[in-house]
Amino acid sequence: QDNLMESGGGVVQPGGSLRLSCVASGFTFSDHGMHWVRQAPGKGLVWLAVIAYDGTNEDYADSVKGRFTISRDNSKNTLYLQMDSLRPDDTAVYFCARDQRWLIKSVFESWGQGTLVTVSS
């Protein structure tokens, strides 16, 4: 059974950094593109970033480009999101999500439970 488990969330001051992790199990992680999606408290879903199955390509939403970096370690079945220069409006639950096999099709087949990031002084 597919499982994605995020960690690394917490409270951070504006301008600070955090690194989120997402550990995958129950499927061949290295076959799938992976995404990060966030949800501010009481709000809807917003796509943030994607990385190809082999890590060779990545892309970002304009709101986080230049501040966030997505990466993966297929030997550890782990996806990462390095978040720098955090702002209060980055406060949200961050989900990792699995795309379909091989190509990026932006169909989020499986989701983790999310990790809460709070940016506040």
Partner 1 sequence: IVLTQSPATLSLSPGDRATLSCRASQSLTDYLVWYQQRPGQAPRLLMSDATTRATGIPARFIGSGSGTDFTLTIDTLEPEDFGVFYCQQRLSWPPTFGGGTKLEIK
Site residues (vs partner 1, CB under 8 A): 44-47, 59, 61, 95, 105-114
Can you tell me which residue has the tokens 């009481």?
42
The C-alpha atoms of residue 120 and residue 100 are separated, in whole angstroms, by: 36
Residue 48 CB, nearest approach to partner 1 (Å): 9
Measured from the Cβ of residue 3, the count of other Cβ atoms closer than 10 Å reads 12
**Cβ distance to partner 1 smaller for residue 15 or 105:** 105
Residue 45 CB, nearest approach to partner 1 (Å): 4
Residue 6 CB, nearest approach to partner 1 (Å): 9
The C-alpha atoms of residue 31 and residue 69 are separated, in whole angstroms, by: 20
**Cβ distance to partner 1 smaller for residue 68 or 95:** 95
**Cβ distance to partner 1 smaller for residue 75 or 107:** 107
> Strands (DSSP E) along 61-114, which ranges?
68-73, 78-83, 92-101, 110-111
